[in-house]
Chain A
Amino acid sequence: MTLADAQPQALNFDCETGNYHTFCPISCVAWLYQKIEDSFFLVIGTKTCGYFLQNAMGVMIFAEPRYAMAELEEGDISAQLNDYDELKRLCDQIKRDRNPSVIVWIGTCTTEIIKMDLEGLAPKLEAEIGIPIVVARANGLDYAFTQGEDTVLAAMAARCPSQAPASEEEKEERGGLQKLLNFGRKKEDVAAEASEYVDHPSLVLFGSLPDPVVTQLTLELKRQGIKVSGWLPAKRYTELPVLEEGSYVCGVNPFLSRTATTLMRRRKCKLIGAPFPIGPDGTRAWVEKICSVFGVEPKGLDEREAQIWDNLEDYLQLIRGKSVFFMGDNLLEISLARFLIRCGMTVPEIGIPYMDKRYQAAELALLEQTCRDMGVPFPRIVEKPDNYNQVQRIHDLKPDLVITGMAHANPLEARGINTKWSVEFTFAQIHGFGNARDILELVTRPLRRNTALKDLGWDKLVKEDATV
């Protein structure tokens, strides 16, 4: 059988029952409260939500986080208590104890079902207590895991100022960070630096990334003379970027489709649809796409990408020709699969909670192209997968690596199947040229570990080869 016979002409999309394991989208508070330093996240839900956060976030909970539950009691459900009064009491307390610059209300399944009008209550309460209140409905009825961030950023997009502050004082107030960066330098120097950029309309990037990665990606574009005017979100709520009508925006993560839609429809921004800067191939395609939109000829990307690949060679040797199965739970799957195929792996299945073919169009095109370039069969993309069926397929396919949630990792390992927890990809630094090695560090870790143990004869650690 030649490869050509095995290759369908286009990507193959399936949809299963949606019976899969993932984190609840309220988990986004765990990384967003750290990212947005002057925020406070109030999750309006039940004990179920609270227990999830407490267990999923592990140790972080003890660092006196800037998030809390507004735990609904029976009186709230049956409307014996007044929602507005209750929320006011809690938000007053938060204001008193923490004095944040913004309170983000996270709506949950319960507030959806009892139809608590958070969007209606917020502006009233905001006026009364004098702190902005942003409402995001990050609930398990509608969304999975990382999509929680999407709902928060979509809500934040509405709060971005629409024009640069006019007066000098206002600028001072808003641009605290900028001032710090320019500290001690003469005005001319700063002006000279600005001229390093080509003249292009303003560009705002969206997606929450750790600050070092923000710096790396910003500098990557600076090499091409492209200036990043701001990031959604910024380090502080008070530093949200200016979004003018006609500004260009570009996403850095595959799960931000609502934010993209909001930026286009509500803020009249122009979306640059690019693959995501995950892996050196993705980063290069991302930079190239942004350059092409601004009519900039990209410089030095060939060498830069080649050099990164060279540095990865020791890891690539471990995974070349091996297969990887994505069970799907965080929406990074398409980009990661595309990168791993470029690394020489084969991917029989990409499970994914939700597939926005428009927002991810460029990424999907790059995946297709990568499969052709590498001469491997197209993966089967399974939206809303069924974990039970997937485990059957894993037993049939015997992939070299399964990327999966923590609910399945230990049971699969006990059956001699290498696994990597998918959640780590969400918290690790995986964007840009410099972090490609970190992705492979994660991907190869189970292979390296299990190679170290392979002569011990312990790869199967359950009694009978389980039926499932």
Chain B
Amino acid sequence: MKLAYWMYAGPAHIGTLRIASSFKNVHAIMHAPLGDDYFNVMRSMLERERDFTPVTTSVVDRNVLARGSQEKVVDNITRKDQEEAPDLIVLTPTCTSSILQEDLQNFVDRAQMDAKGDVMLADVNHYRVNELQAADRTLQQIVQFYIEKARKKGELPEGKTERPSVNIIGISTLGFHNNHDRRELITLMRDLGIEINAIIPDAASVHELKHLPRAWFNLVPYRELGHMTTDYLQQEFGMPSVDITPMGIVETARCIRAIQKVLNEQGATKDYESYIDEQTRFVSQAAWFSRSIDCQNLTGKRAVVFGDNTHAVAMTRILAREMGIKVVLAGTYCKYDAEWFREQVEGYCDEVLVSDDNAAIANAIARLEPAAIFGTQMERHVGKRLDIPCGVIASPVHIQNFPVGFTPFLGYEGANQVVDLVYNSFTLGMEDHLLEIFGGHDTKEVITKEMSETTDLAWSKDGLVELNKIPGFVRGKVKRNVEKFARDRHIAQITAEVLYAAKEAVGA
């Protein structure tokens, strides 16, 4: 038993449901007690989904406990098959069905005899894998199912597409900014002259799956989802894949060069160098930002990064390599893939933390006192408590991290978004700091009810010059504090000396 207040990755069935509900016309039936269908709430609320989430429950109640599910699961599958005619029904085990040890495969086989659509049992063990691993496995399972089905029927298409093409694998529902990343990757592929053969599982039909081998290569943007599928496709069809997450300017370029290599090995003659150069230097703002004086001010600032493998690694590298920020700690909750994480962040951070215990991370943040945190929703709350700004870079997230506006994290536009996120986090931190130096927040006592412009106090020329040196966003505040200082001491004219005396007084 483990005392737990919070968890980073959800239970296995959530991963399976994310895959099933990403596909078009695929229905999931959970073998679960009443109330376990909160996945529908999450999808409906977080993604603001307009359609009914294609997930129902075959309810496990006392009767099932006493006598087994018997016909219930089979009936529920065949009923759903008739009602909505899905292409595929995925029977999804939960923690409850894991321990009941009913022969769910048998139910699937029996239901398949009556159902017009396909029926399959998701092969995930609640006690062995988490949401992310289960999603990876389920996607592979569905792909394999339809490849084998097509092969059996002799419907597997031969050969590759005429022009270079790609399968983008791993975009899914409830994934962090996945829908925006999807759009950005499509743009990137178009720019590179690469046709999209398929994007799975998001909005894909299972009928498309047999065409997967026609692509020249697979692109897996996220570490957590898609590798089992690409490994399978590599094994079956020798399909190469590119698994460099194009997040940040340097990694995006690396990803594009890997694509170039993969295509040219198959006979294409692509040269993306000028595209990369043009994008990096002139189209995207991220490279220019790193050079600008704004970013200079961030040099050596201390940051903590925590999240899933994909985003924590990419973010660590962006901060350290592209912005000169000191990453004092990089961490992940993907314990099952910790080795990869350590390799990837080596040389980019002082310390590595692999843990799914939110208290361990919170304590590390408190100990290190970074100027900013880049983490999940949980780290945002830690930041709130410790008064440290936080940019959210990875799931788990709340509804505000499913923005309506276009905010990818991948590709060149993603690099711009990351710049804003980083810069805003640090600026806010600096503003806070300046407020502190010049005497606190608005909660302090009010000096006059008038705006300070109408004050009777006079500012000398040099006083005004010094005042204008103070950054605009705290200037009004500083001005009021200095005037209060002067008024308290019956000083009629505020000179530069008075201003600095006021500052010192606050410091004292």
Contact = CB atoms under 8 A, between A and B. Distances in A.
Interface string A65-102: 10011111110110001000011011001100000000
Given A62-B381, A109-B33, A141 B62 contact: yes
Contacts of B96: 48, 109-110, 113
A48 B11 contact: yes
Interface stretch (B38-46, B306-314, B408-416, B426-434): B38-46
Contacts of A114: 99
A342 interface: no
Interface string B49-61: 1111100110111
B33 A407 contact: no
Contacts of B48: 410
A55 B42 contact: yes
Given A86-B1, A410-B45, A462-B50, A23 B35 contact: yes
Contacts of B10: 47, 51
B502 interface: no
A73 B62 contact: no
Contacts of A219: none
Contacts of B65: 112-113, 141
B50 A109 contact: no
Contact of B40 (A24, A141, A407): A407
B84 interface: yes
A47 B95 contact: yes
Interface string B256-289: 0000000000000000000000000000000000
Nearest to B47: A410
Interface string B118-154: 0000000011101000000000000000000000000
Contacts of B381: 62
A144 interface: yes
A68 B5 CA distance: 5
A314 B84 CA distance: 43
Contacts, number: 165
Contact of A18 (B11, B34, B49): B34
Contacts of A110: 95-96, 99
A466 interface: yes
A405 B11 CA distance: 22
A409 B43 CA distance: 12
Given A23-B38, A47-B7, A58-B398, A411 B52 contact: yes
Interface in A93-141: 93-94, 109-110, 112-114, 139-141
A52 B127 CA distance: 17
B508 interface: no
Contact of A144 (B35, B40, B44, B45): B35
A397 to B, nearest CB: 18
Interface string B69-108: 0000000100000011000000000111001100000000
Of the candidates B61, B83, B127, B398, the one having the most CB atoms from chain A within 10 angstroms of its own CB is B127
Nearest to A412: B52
Given A113-B100, A141-B62, A411 B36 contact: no
A19 B35 CA distance: 10
A86 B99 CA distance: 20
A69 B4 contact: yes
B52 A109 contact: no
B180 interface: no
B2 interface: yes
Interface string B371-415: 000000010010000000000000010100000000000000000
A414 interface: yes
Contact of B34 (A74, A77, A144, A391): A144
A50 B46 CA distance: 18
A54 interface: yes
A36 B53 CA distance: 36
A131 to B, nearest CB: 16
A468 B95 contact: no
Of the candidates B35, B53, B130, the one having the most CB atoms from chain A within 10 angstroms of its own CB is B35
Contacts of A71: 1-4
B210 to A, nearest CB: 26
Contact of B35 (A50, A74, A145, A468): A145
Contacts of B41: 21, 55-56, 405-407
A313 interface: no
A407 B60 contact: no
Given A48-B13, A70-B1, A388 B35 contact: no
A467 interface: yes
A22 B35 contact: yes
B249 interface: no
A442 interface: no
A468 B82 CA distance: 12
Contacts of B7: 47, 50-51, 54
Contacts of B83: 388, 468
Contacts of B52: 391, 407-408, 411, 466, 468
Nearest to A76: B1
Interface in A280-312: none
A409 B40 CA distance: 11
A467 B42 CA distance: 23
Given A51-B11, A69-B3, A140 B50 contact: no
Nearest to A25: B35
A278 B44 CA distance: 30
A61 B35 contact: no
A142 interface: yes
A336 to B, nearest CB: 21
B14 interface: yes
Interface in A355-407: 388, 391, 405-407
B4 A113 contact: no
Nearest to A72: B1
Contact of A73 (B2, B6, B100): B2
Nearest to B42: A55
Contacts of A22: 34-35
A112 B60 CA distance: 12
Given A110-B96, A411-B50, 14 more contacts: A48-B36, A52-B38, A68-B4, A70-B3, A71-B2, A71-B3, A73-B2, A74-B128, A90-B1, A93-B3, A388-B83, A462-B51, A466-B51, A466-B52
Name the 9 nearest CB pairs between A and B, nearest first.
Answer: A24-B35, A140-B33, A407-B40, A414-B50, A47-B11, A86-B1, A46-B95, A140-B35, A62-B381
5 contacts: A26-B35, A47-B126, A55-B42, A56-B41, A410-B45
Interface of B: 1-7, 10-11, 13-14, 32-38, 40-42, 44-45, 48-53, 56-57, 59-62, 65, 76, 83-84, 94-96, 99-100, 126-128, 130, 378, 381, 396, 398
